[in-house]
Amino acid sequence: MGAVTLQNIRKTYEKGTVLAVDDVSFTVEPGELFGLIGPDGAGKTSIFRILTTLLLADSGTATVDGHDVRKDYRAIRSTVGYMPGKFSLYQDLTVEENLSFFATLFETTIAANYDLIKEIYEQIEPFKTRRAGQLSGGMKQKLALCCALIHKPTVLFLDEPTTGVDAVSRKEFWDMLGRLKQQGITILVSTPYMDEATRCERIALMQSGKILSIDTPANIIKAYPGKLYAVKADAMHPLLHHLRAYPAARSSYAFGEFVHVAFWDDQADDDEALRQYLAGKKHTGIVIKPITPSIEDRFIDLMTAAPANAHATATR
Amino acid sequence: MQPPPASAQAIVCHELTKQFGDFRAVDKITLSVAQGEIFGFLGANGAGKTTAMRMLCGLSYPSAGQATVAGFDVYRQQEKIKQNIGYMSQKFSLYENLTILENIEFFGGIYGLSNQQLRAKSEELITTLGLHKEAKKLVGSLPLGWKQKLAFSVAIIHEPKIVFLDEPTGGVDPVTRRQFWDLIYAAADRGITNFVTTHYMDEAEYCNRVSIMVDGRVEALDSPANLKLQYHADSMDEVFYQLARGAQRGE
């Protein structure tokens, strides 16, 4: 039995006109760090709210720790931890008051589970008499995580904990999750940042309410069809235009300082043919090198291969 | 009409500072941005980016230093600045309960476009974005990526000299995020200066030049290529990490 299971979950809003979650099924194993990766509107928040029993699915079944989200919602509420995407603690209670409030709600004490939050709480402890509303974004995030952990949950749900957070703080947050995982807590986390996917054991790539792919990050990258090249030239903007007009290229898009190019049929001399084409367009400083695709490359590939109802599913 | 600015600089600031009580949010930043440039304004949370941007947009008075935006002074000509810039952010862009057309008319009207100009602009914009079928739908019903592309187009509807973009692509899918940058390039080709903040380090590479703020100061300012050379880094992510991990203050 998985720690979290979903079977054919479907959720619509606005009297059925907006499809938010479209027949989603997956299982999270006990102790696993599982990521839902996708942009806004992918259906991540709806799934979190269904699993935390805050929202009912239109159809399908789901369980958390073996409890049904519909029938056994009370059992689920008392054992899981949930950190919503929007800061939801009491702004006019202090740091310490918020923490002891949540501990009391779950019939425990700060002392009982202090080990679990110690490392995180120590960073905000100097501000424990400050009202939560007066904290910086990073400190709010740490407090919210402490409050979600204080009853030693079996499953921790983190909805976009790193959105709007700078690159350095994001790395620190993921380091922290790695250490929590070692304590045996099952973690289900969502993020729109593709580069964070490799921090998870398994991921589901989501777009417009659907799962595009679900596997370990390594396998998802391995499933990339064909070879991928990184291309650079002195004039990048014209380069992109010329690559898009190149018939043999299946896709080409900007990726940092390079343009990533994939071909329709992988040929041994793809790169040489492309080099000649670009030289013919008077490009200078041409660099073409084969690269290993990233999760984002795979995501783009899946998205463009199945240009689903890109705009039927608008809101969360 | 004011005479055009003497230089081809869209933004010039010299030791621009903002002090809140004993807290110096922005500490003597000096930079200039050329007309038509795509300038990445990066920094950790709490580094002072938003405060600096508010001063440059004419929304907040500096405590010290000088700056001109589109040739107008940030102390004395705030209203002139507002007329000559565009602004969009991830948080606020358009009115969700107005239709696409109504949003275009509303913002175009605010910026003083005539009815004739408005009609032409609406048509042009809806065609460019391929939104004919959606023109009379509420903005709230659009996917985020479409909304952001529309918001950008509306932010430059009056052909401002500069557009300020505050995390315009946060949460946007990877394909639409790239289409958004195509719009930025197209605006830059028309001579509009793009002043943009982002947490996506791959997007930093798309800028002509990038500044990185740490604890209120501009710690680095150059092209992405030169910054990578200077910091012996393979990516802007590494450059950013080297600079920002030393930050003393949070948000």
**pLDDT level of residue B4 (50, 70, 90 thresholds):** very low
Interval B115-135: pLDDT, tens: 999 999 999 999 999 899 999
Is the CB of residue A313 less than 8 Å from the CB of residue A209? yes
Query: Are A21 and A64 in a shared domain?
Result: yes
- Contact status of B222 with chain A (Cβ, < 8 Å): no
Q: Check residue B228 and give its pLDDT.
A: 96
Query: Which of residues A198, A222, A246 is at a domain's end?
Result: A222
Query: Nearest Cβ partner of B174 from A167, A168, A299?
Result: A299
- With a CB cutoff of 8 Å and minimum separation 6, the contacts of B46 are A136, A137, A138, B247, B249, B250, B251
Residues A140 and A214 in one domain: yes
Are A210 and A251 found together in one domain?
Answer: no
The dihedral region occupied by A8, where left means phi > 0, alpha psi between -120 and 50, and beta the remainder, is left
Residues of chain A whose C-beta is under 8 A from some C-beta in B? 18, 38-42, 136-139, 163-171, 192-194, 207-208, 237, 253-257, 296, 299-300, 303-304, 310-311, 313-315
Pair A122, A247 in one domain: no
B124 in a domain, yes or no?
A: yes
In a domain, A313, yes or no: no
Residue A309 domain flag: no
Chain centroid to Cα B187, Å, comes to 12
B249 located within any domain = no
Mean pLDDT for the stretch of residues B70-96: 92
DSSP letter for each residue of chain B: -PPPPSSSEEEEEEEEEEEETTEEEEEEEEEEEETT-EEEEEE-TTSSHHHHHHHHTTSS--SEEEEEETTEETTT-HHHHHHHEEEEESS--S-TTSBHHHHHHHHHHHTT--HHHHHHHHHHHHHHHT-GGGTTSBGGGS-HHHHHHHHHHHHTTT--SEEEEESTTTT--HHHHHHHHHHHHHHHHTT-EEEEE-S-HHHHTTSSEEEEEETTEEEEEE-HHHHHHHTT-SSHHHHHHHHHTT-----
Residue B199 to residue A166, Cβ atoms within 8 A: yes
Sheet holding A59-64, edge to edge: A18-28, A4-13, A59-64, A67-68
Within a domain: B3 = no
Taking all residues of chain A, what is their mean pLDDT, rounded to a whole number?
A: 92
Please indicate, yes or no, if residue B204 is contained in any of the structural domains: yes
CA angle B152, B154, B158 (to 5 degrees): 115
- Tell whether B251 is covered by a domain: no
| Domain containing residue A180: CATH number | 3.40.50.300
Structure confidence at residue B250 as a pLDDT band (50, 70, 90):
low
Cβ–Cβ of A168/B237 closer than 8 Å? no
Residue A305 lies in a domain: no
A130 and A233 part of one domain: no
Residues from chain A contacting residue B236 (CB–CB below 8 Å)? 256
Please tell me the total number of residues recorded for chain A in this structure. 316
CB-closest option in B90, B146, B244 to A166: B244
pLDDT at residue B92 in the model: 67
Q: Do A194 and B174 touch (CB under 8 A)?
A: yes
Chain A residues in contact with B46 by the CB 8 A cut-off are 136-138
Domain membership of residue A105 (yes or no) is yes
The Cβ of residue B89 has, within 10 Å, a number of other Cβ atoms equal to 18
Domain assignment present for B208: yes
Task: Write the pLDDT tens digit of every residue in B91-114.
Answer: 767 999 999 999 999 999 999 999
Instruction: Chain B: give the shortest CA distance to residue A295, in Å.
Output: 11
Give the CATH number, domain containing residue A267. 3.30.70
- A127 and A215 share one domain: yes
In angstroms, what CA-CA distances link B213 with B39, B65, B112, B163, B217?
A: 13, 17, 35, 20, 5
- Residue A130: both structure tokens together: 């400050």
Q: Residue B58 half-sphere exposure, CB side, CA atoms within 13 Å?
A: 21
pLDDT digits (tens, 9 = 90+) for A238-293: 999 999 999 999 999 999 889 999 998 888 888 999 999 999 999 999 999 999 99
- Tell me if B2 is assigned to some domain: no
* Cα–Cα distance, B9 to A20 (Å, whole number): 46
What is the per-residue pLDDT for A311?
A: 39
* Nearest of B187, B188, B234, B182 to residue B209 by alpha carbon: B188
Smallest CA–CA distance, residue A275 to chain B, in Å, is: 22
Which residues lie below 8 Å from residue A164, measured CB to CB, with a gap of 6+? A137, B45, B90, B167, B170, B199
Give the SS3 label for residue A163: coil
Structure tokens at B11: 């933004």
- Helix, strand, coil share of chain A (percent; to 5): 35, 25, 35
Domain that holds residue A269: 228-292
Report residue B3's pLDDT band, with 50, 70 and 90 as the boundaries.
very low
From A138's Cα to the closest Cα of chain B, the distance in A is 7
* Neighboring chain B residues of A231 at a CB cutoff of 8 Å: none
Check CB contact under 8 Å for B199 and A314. Answer: no
Q: Which of A36, A169, A289 is the mutation pick for testing B, counting most B CBs within 10 A?
A: A169
Same domain, A105 and A131: yes
Number of separate domains in chain A: 2
CB A302 within 8 A of CB A205: yes
Q: Which two tokens stand for residue A128?
A: 């424990």
Does A99 reside within a domain?
yes
Residues A153 and A27 in one domain: yes
B130 close to A (CB below 8 A): no
Which residues of chain A fall below pLDDT 70?
306-316
Task: Please report whether residue A302 resides in a domain.
Answer: no
Domain membership of residue B115 as a residue range:
9-244
Residue of B nearest to A256 (CA): B202
The predicted pLDDT at position A309 comes to 39
What is the per-residue pLDDT for B141? 85
Asked if the structure places residue B4 within a domain, the reply is no
Find the CB nearest B46 among A42, A136, A237: A136
A166 CA to chain B: closest CA distance, Å? 5
Helical H segments across chain A, by residue range? 44-51, 73-79, 95-105, 114-124, 137-149, 167-181, 217-222, 236-244, 270-280, 295-305
CB of B219 within 8 Å of any CB in chain A?
no
pLDDT tens figures, B22-64: 999 999 999 999 999 999 999 988 899 989 999 999 999 999 9
Pair B27, B217: CB distance under 8 Å: yes
A159 and A106 belong to one structural domain: yes
Name the minimum distance, in Å, from the CA of A68 to any CA of chain B.
Answer: 31
Domain count within chain B: 1
Which chain B residues are within 8 Å of A86, Cβ to Cβ? Answer: none
Q: Across the interface, which of B43, B144, B167 has its CB nearest the CB of A40? A: B144
Q: Tell me, what CATH number does B15's domain have?
A: 3.40.50.300
- Chain A: residue nearest B247 by CA? A168
* The dihedral sign for the CA sequence B153, B154, B159, B163: negative
Measured CA to CA, the distance from residue A104 to residue A110 in angstroms comes to 9
- Chain A residues whose beta carbon lies within 8 Å of the beta carbon of residue B205: 256-257
Q: For A84, which DSSP code?
A: -
Facing residue for A167 by CB, picked from B46, B170, B199 = B199
Of A172, A191, A222, which residue is a domain's last? A222
* pLDDT of amino acid A306: 57
Instruction: Give residues with Cβ within 8 angstroms of A219, minimum separation 6.
Output: none
3-class secondary-structure state, position A100: helix
Contacts for A61-64: CB closer than 8 Å, 24+ residues apart:
A61/A5, A61/A6, A61/A7, A61/A8, A61/A9, A62/A4, A62/A5, A62/A6, A62/A7, A62/A9, A63/A1, A63/A2, A63/A4, A63/A5, A64/A3, A64/A4, A64/A155
Token look-up 């913002």 returns: B107
